[in-house]
Amino acid sequence: MPDPTVIANTSPLLYRHQIGCLHLLHSLYRVLVVPPAVQEELEAGRRQGFDVPDVLGLGWIEVRPVASAALVPAVVDLGRGEAEVIALGMELRGSLLIVDDQLARRIADLHGLRYTGTLGVLVKGKQVGHLSSVRAMITALRGKGMWLSDSVVEDALRLSGERA
C-alpha cells in the first residue's frame, strides 16, 4: 500500500522551522503537499519580517492547488490555509492532514479525514528514532510562542514515554 499524501497547514511548518526541526517532516513523510494559501500565508509572514520556511526552495514540498473551489469549506472562523488543506484532503482521500487548529480538526472529523498535529508528528519522530526528546521540542515550541494546552502536552509526553 502506498504512503498517504501528507498535506500540511502553515503553523506546523512555521513552528518546526523556527525550532530547527523542519527536516523531521521530510524524514517521516518524504514529500509534503501544501495548498497555495499556506504558501501565501508564509510569504506574508516573510514580508512582515518573520522567520518562515521558503517552501518553494524545498524540493520535498509541493504546492498543489485545490482542483475544485466548491470543496473549500466556507466557515468564517476557519483560515484560508486550513480551509484549503481540508479541501485537498477531501480531493485526495486517504491523505493525512497536519493541522493544529481545533476548528479545522472538527471539520476534518465531519468529513472523515485523518489528521495529526505538531505534537503528533513529534511523537512519531521519537517513536521511529528521529528525535531523542519530545519534551525538549515542546519547550522550544512554547519558547517560540506556540500555545499548547497542558493536557495535550501531557498526552504527547505519555505517548512518547517521557511522562514525568
**pTM value?**
0.92
Residue 110 lies in a domain: yes
- The answer to whether the CB of 7 falls within 8 A of the CB of 95 is yes
User: Within the chain, what is the greatest distance between any pair of CA atoms?
Assistant: 47
Between 49 and 163, where is the model more confident? 49
SS3 of residue 84 by DSSP: helix
Count of all residues that appear for the chain in the document = 164
Instruction: Please indicate, yes or no, if residue 148 is contained in any of the structural domains.
Output: no
Please check whether residue 149 lies inside any domain of the structure: no
Confidence check: pLDDT of 68 > 90: no
Q: Residue 67 is part of which domain span?
A: 6-121
Q: What value does the mean pLDDT of the chain take? A: 91
Residue 23, domain member (yes or no): yes
Number of separate domains in the chain: 1
CATH of the domain at 115: 3.40.50.1010
**Paired sense of beta strands 61-63 and 6-8, if any:** unpaired
pLDDT, tens only, 108-123: 999 999 999 999 999 9
34 assigned to some structural domain: yes
**Which three three-digit cell numbers place residue 58?**
524545498
